[in-house]
Structure formats: C-alpha cells, structure tokens
Amino acid sequence: MIQTPDAVEIAPGTHWIGALDPGLREFDIILKTANGTTYNSYCVRGTDGVAIIDTVKESHAEEFFKRLEQVARYDEITTIVLNHLEPDHSGALPELMRRAPQAKLYISTKGQLMLKALVKDPELGFNVAQTGDSVDLGGRTLRFFTTPFLHWPDTQCTLVEEQGILLSGDVFGCHFCDARLFNDQVGDFRFSFEYYYQHIMRPFREHVLDALELLEPLPLKLIAPAHGPILREAPRSYMQRYRQLASPLLHNEVGVNNKSLLVFYISSYGNTARMAQAVVDGAETVPGVRVSMYDLQAGGNLPFVDLIEEADGLAIGSPTINGDAVKPVWDLLSSLAAIKVRDKFGAAFGSYGWSGEAINMIEDRLRGLKLRVPIKGVRARLIPTEEELGRCRDLGIQLAQHLTGTVQNRVISMSELFAQEPSHA
C-alpha cells in the first residue's frame, strides 16, 4: 500500500490531515475490517481563521499532528469541530486543545454529556452548535447540521459552504484504508460501504431518513466522511444509496391501515408447530392484521431480520430443551440488535417436557430489546391440549388486537398484577 506522509489538499485551502490504520482487523469488537481503516480529520483555512474538524484515535495522534503541522500553526487555529465524540475521533482532542488553547470547540447539543465523560476536564470550554449555526473563518463558512443517531446521539455534519464540502462524520463513511484516499483512486470499497451501513447505521434508519431530508438539498461537490475514502466522484450516488438502504426492499403489500404480525416457531415433534398454527388462527380472526408464519429451522436469520424490521409484532415459539430456548431462536433474537424493534409487540409460546423455561427467557429478551410484551406466553407440556391450543388462539387474538389498537382497556389492581406471572398483566 502506498503510504503518504503528507497532508492532502482536497479543495483549495482544505486538507485531509487524518491517520491511516491499515493493520486494524476488528473495529469496536463487532466489525471486521479486512482493509483496516482511516481516521479522517480535516483542516479548513479561511482568511480570518483555521478550523480543525475531528481528530483521530489517540494511538494515531502523532501522525495526525505531523500532518496538521504541515498546513497550519497551532496559534492559527481558531476553531475545532467534533462532528462525533467517539474516541476514534476525539482521541487527540485533549492534546490539540493543549496545543491550541485559544481555539473554540464546537460540538452538538447532545455531545455535551459525551464530552464530559470522555475528557475529564470540568474547565474545558465549548460551544453548542445546532442546525443552521455557522462559524465564519473569512471566505470559508462552516455550517452545522444536527444529524442525531448516525450513529450516536451526538452526531452532526459540517458543511464548508463556499466549497460544497460536507464533512459528514461517520455517515457515508466506511472502514477501508487506502492511502490514495479518494473514491476514484482507491481499491473497490463498495462492500465496506454497504457493510458499514448494515452494521452501524441500520439500527437508526429512521434517523438516516431524517438526516437525508436535511442533507440531500445541499449543493454538494464532495463528501468527506470520518472513515474511509473521500467521496469526490459522484458523491450524491452515495447519498442515494443510503436512501435505498434505509427504504424497504420491496413494496409491502400490507396496506397502510393494516398491521403485520410474524409468527416464528421451531419444533422437534410438531407440538410447538401446532401451537404456532393456533396463534396464527387466532390472530387471523382480527380484521386489519396480516399474519405470516415461518419455521426457524428452515430459514436463515438475515431474511427474517429484514421481515421483522418491517413488521409490527412478532410471536416466537420454542420448545424448552435442557432448560433453555433452542439455538436458532437465540440466533434470531441476537440478530435483532441490528434493527430498530423498540415498541413493536412481542409474545412467546412453546411446548416443553418438564420445566418450560424457554418462554420466560424469550420474553425477557424481547423486553430487553424494548418490545412491548403485554400478554403472558403460553406453555404446554408435551402435546398441547385443546384448552392449551385455545389459549394460543387467545394469545394470537390479543396480540392482533394490540397491533390494531382494538384491545379493550382493562383495569387491574396492583395486587392482581403481582399475583400473576412476572411481567404480565
């Protein structure tokens, strides 16, 4: 790989001064980085001041400062902007503030708590930037756009107005290290771009769509993210790709007034399968609900995760084996952290031999994922009786009624509430 020791001019007076980390193979535990990554920071020079936008991981600070010193003196720096305070972008901030104590620091409103937690200096001064606020550097204007949850609460983007450069932070970035820097010169990084979206941005897709509303109208010539290639060739295509990725793959045939309920099950001897069918039968009696049933044994997690992302509710059926729900169920449930499931409705059911712990375990996990779990799950010992199948039908009906908002308000006392199974009214 070509190593460059120099700052790189990306537009007149605006330089990349970041750091390369080609040896990184795993980022934040959860991400594979076959090509390493870059920590991109930028220096914008105006006639009246110099701004540094984002810093780098602390371990790469020396490289960052060397590049910075090629394009600016520390006493020239008037402005420091942190688009995102995660340590890979704020790691060199304390030292930069020490070297340029006159500089004013700009962060988003929600960055304040992060800043206090990361930089343990109660004396550290900062300015809070909101959408529309700007800093005049003299012929170069930095304009801020608050874009929360891409992918932390604090994230924002900064536009260099006169140059049409969007310093975007993590959004539109990826983990890909290539010293040639620009998207029309580096190796093929498309998989990294998609992978980064799927793992970092996808849980926040509603926020992605909000941010696109804010950013798409901007007159952009270049997108300079905080990781990976600088997007100077067809920058808008990357924005368009984000819109595609944040939108459903296919038109959902469930009408706008209809709700979608997914029933997943896995079954050793057909008992939990029979219970699943009863849940479906019950739910289908409620108008306005489209019910779909899937055998977890035969499906891969990824398509199911896609389906759940679009659904309004899900019920999961698992037998209890060795005191636990079975692995395909946990595989599915552990995959749901990648999407937003908060406030969907959830329920559990299943057949068991002698203990039946799986139901409560699944319910706890659903609650941990911030789903609403208002109905007590149904457990059946081995072959479900007609009475137990009837309770499964009731579970389906009640779940469907919750989805359609037709559930009748119940009044219950605290003592009745506590007399029931944990966490169910």
State the minimum distance, in angstroms, from the CB of residue 284 to another protein: 21
Counting residues that bind another protein (by CB under 8 A) gives 31
In whole angstroms, give the CA distance from residue 103 to residue 407.
58
Interacting stretch for another protein, rule CB under 8 A, among 44-52, 83-91, 250-258, 361-369?
361-369
Two tokens at 338?
Answer: 């990648």
Picking from 156, 245, 172, the residue whose alpha carbon sits closest to that of residue 203 is 245
Closest to another protein by CB, 270 vs 368, is 368
Q: Is 356 exposed, middle or buried (0-12, 13-18, 19+ CB in 10 A)?
A: middle
Select the residue interacting with another protein from 110, 143, 199, 381 (CB under 8 A): 110
Cβ(316)–Cβ(341) below 8 Å: no
State the minimum distance, in angstroms, from the CB of residue 201 to another protein: 21
Interacting stretch for another protein, rule CB under 8 A, among 93-101, 168-176, 241-249, 411-419?
411-419
Amino acid occupying residue 278: A
124 contacts another protein (rule: CB under 8 A): no
Interacting stretch for another protein, rule CB under 8 A, among 4-12, 171-179, 288-296, 363-371?
363-371
Interacting stretch for another protein, rule CB under 8 A, among 270-278, 311-319, 364-372, 381-389?
364-372
Task: Name the 3-class secondary structure at 224.
Answer: strand
State the minimum distance, in angstroms, from the CB of residue 356 to another protein: 19
> DSSP for 7-20?
-EEEETTEEE--EE
CB atoms within 10 A of CB 352: 20
Interacting stretch for another protein, rule CB under 8 A, among 94-102, 247-255, 287-295, 407-415?
407-415
* Residue whose token pair is 């059946």: 380
Site for another protein in 27-66 (CB under 8 A): none
422 contacts another protein (rule: CB under 8 A): yes
- The residue count of the chain comes to 425
Q: Show contacts of 220-223: CB within 8 Å, 24+ apart.
A: 220/164, 220/165, 220/166, 221/11, 221/163, 221/164, 221/165, 222/10, 222/11, 222/163, 222/164, 222/165, 222/166, 223/165, 223/166, 223/168, 223/172
Cβ(214)–Cβ(239) below 8 Å: no
State the minimum distance, in angstroms, from the CB of residue 68 to another protein: 33
> DSSP for 158-205?
EEEGGGTEEEEETTT--S---TT-BTTTS---HHHHHHHIIIIIGGGH
Picking from 46, 90, 96, 30, the residue whose alpha carbon sits closest to that of residue 69 is 96
Picking from 137, 167, 234, 157, the residue whose alpha carbon sits closest to that of residue 15 is 167
Picking from 306, 352, 302, the residue whose alpha carbon sits closest to that of residue 326 is 352
Task: Name the 3-class secondary structure at 415.
Answer: helix
- φ, ψ for residue 380, nearest 5 deg: -135, 135
Site string for another protein, 309-348 (x = CB under 8 A): ---------------------------------xx-----
State the minimum distance, in angstroms, from the CB of residue 148 to another protein: 10
- φ, ψ for residue 362, nearest 5 deg: -65, -45
State the minimum distance, in angstroms, from the CB of residue 247 to another protein: 25
410 contacts another protein (rule: CB under 8 A): yes
Site for another protein in 366-405 (CB under 8 A): 367-368, 370-375, 402
Closest to another protein by CB, 108 vs 267, is 108
Select the residue interacting with another protein from 1, 34, 113, 337 (CB under 8 A): 113
HSE-up of 33 (CA within 13 Å, CB side)? 23
State the minimum distance, in angstroms, from the CB of residue 27 to another protein: 25
Interacting stretch for another protein, rule CB under 8 A, among 22-30, 119-127, 273-281, 415-423?
415-423
Two tokens at 369?
Answer: 């994922």
State the minimum distance, in angstroms, from the CB of residue 318 to another protein: 18
Closest to another protein by CB, 109 vs 141, is 109
Closest to another protein by CB, 31 vs 407, is 407
CA angle 209, 213, 215 (to 5 degrees): 110
Closest to another protein by CB, 29 vs 414, is 414
- Region of 362 (left: φ > 0; alpha: ψ -120 to 50; beta: rest) is alpha
Interacting stretch for another protein, rule CB under 8 A, among 33-41, 107-115, 204-212, 327-335?
107-115
423 contacts another protein (rule: CB under 8 A): yes
Closest to another protein by CB, 213 vs 343, is 343
Select the residue interacting with another protein from 66, 104, 199, 424 (CB under 8 A): 424
117 contacts another protein (rule: CB under 8 A): no
- Chain residues binding another protein by CB under 8 A are 109-110, 112-113, 342-343, 363, 367-368, 370-375, 402, 407-414, 417-418, 420, 422-425
